Structure 1
Amino acid sequence: MVKISFLLVLVCLPLTFAQAQDELLKLAGATDSAASETVTGTFKATRLVNGHSVETNGEGVLLFLISHRFGTLNSGAYEFFGLDQATIRLGLEYGLTDCLNVGIGRSSLEKTFDGFLKYKLLQQQTKQGMPVTLTLFTSTAVRSLKWPDEEESLDLEHRFTYTHQLLIARKFTERLSLQLSPTLVHRNLVPARQDENNVYALGGGGRFKITKHTSFNAEYYYLLSDQTREAFRNTLSLGFDIETGGHVFQLIFTNAQGMVEKFFVPQNTGYWSKGDIYFGFNISRTFDLKGDEEW
């Protein structure tokens, strides 16, 4: 029943928001065309912590993202509390328009390649306008790590995982922004027959602005799929954002090692209570390819 309801939300929510936006815009236009203004800067970066935020790059803007996670803090002094181990992802994201972004990346974990499309369907407005920002996100992840010898006969399609999300956010004040992220992850291959190919989750998080250039972020993904929730853990991530010109530097503590949805949503095994905490960071740098200025 939860799955059916979830699918209905995925299908109907964008249509509902679009219809509501049209009605609100008509009303605003009939009364006062200058009554509403676009709300910007809901979040500082295109990532909330591990997951995507509603933010998109502007047209012609290229973002280079370096994501890094060390080992767990409970690995002990011999492993320098995780600093001797590392997982990394390199990514590029480009704004085809102000609302439509395309991205690619490569993670060292399972030698995974990923690509995504991200479209900002609705933008929050002030006063009589749209109350939230809505962004649609879809991605594909491909495992390129060699299969064990006994599984050499597996087909290429078994390497693929797909993710679909609705990212719904509202900037309540200059300091506080919150986001909900209904999520579906489909895995073409699962470890055992009883495991679920479709994993449903509800992400939630927010940002609290501390100073003009710093903020505290939090993010949590709750597994809605019963079987997956019994075997794996919900992901909790905390971050601290620092903006320096064209850079956004994010310090992160999380119980998930992977940095794409196929890892941190359906197959996370870390316990915060047991010290399975990965320290890491995201560094993003933007370049305006339409002009000489850097963002």
Structure 2
Amino acid sequence: MRQTVAILIAGPTASGKSALALELAQNIGGVVINTDSMQVYRDLRVITARPAREDEALVPHRLYGHVDAGVNFSAGAWLTDAAAALAEAQAKGRVPIFIGGTGLYFKALTAGLSTVPPIPAEVREGVRARLEQNGVEALHAELMRRDPRAAERLKVRDRTRIARALEVVEATGRSLLDWHREGEPPLLPKDSFRALFLAPERDELYARIDARFDAMLGAGALKEVERLAARHLDPLLPAMKAHGVPALIRHLGGEISLDEAAAIGRADTRHYAKRQFTWFRHQLHEFEWVKPAEARGWLAAVTGAGQGPG
């Protein structure tokens, strides 16, 4: 395999991607590059199941925990960081292994991304103030008046996307849909990568999700969320919406029991995994769907490396 070729390993949460990427990186001299929108946050090591420090020490890992939770990190910002990580890997003769579960990041990587200019802080703050004061239905009605095409594509209760679309039209005078049509070229053009989507059986996956959430609680996830809650950050920030975080904050505030919070966290994660299957099936046709038992053989075939331990 040419050293410039990248390997992409995607899949639903808790499907075993990280272990697979680590093993592959050890076998072929690769660098593991995070492609998960929550594992970028340094405040969320436990609750997002980031690779263990001992695993990170075995091979180079990039873009893990390098962003503060107070930052509204975007796919565009990630793509800029990913370009630097890719250039570093290639300069050092290492195979870049992009691994994660965020479909939008993989789409940006392989299909490009829209070039929406930065939104001024005063515009963002104004939109969020109206959201909190008037509610999401009023904000959607405002978007319908100002950008009906975007509004028609969004669910009336989708707070984050409605606020984003309104911010863009208010700051730029143009619809978010127009910006999406005028994008940057992909970082990895066609034929420069091989892509695998790890596809476990649903029942097995959901059992793994439940067990992992309980393990994260045992490993200190509640303390981690308590430190995050103490910062009193904007609840609309991405880090504040990581699976399990809102429910555990509610528990810390005395609203619900820990068992109830854990049940909500497990259910939210299972629902997210279902959405991941749907996204990749409809949006990212370059990915070859592979069962976990066949993944090492697939990787060995495309990289020319030995399969390593089973």
Q: Structures share a fold, TM > 0.5? A: no
TM-score range, shorter chain: under 0.3
| More strand by percentage | 1
TM-score normalised to the size of structure 2? Answer: 0.23
Higher relative contact order (CA 8 A, sep 6+): 2
TM-score normalised to the size of structure 1? Answer: 0.23
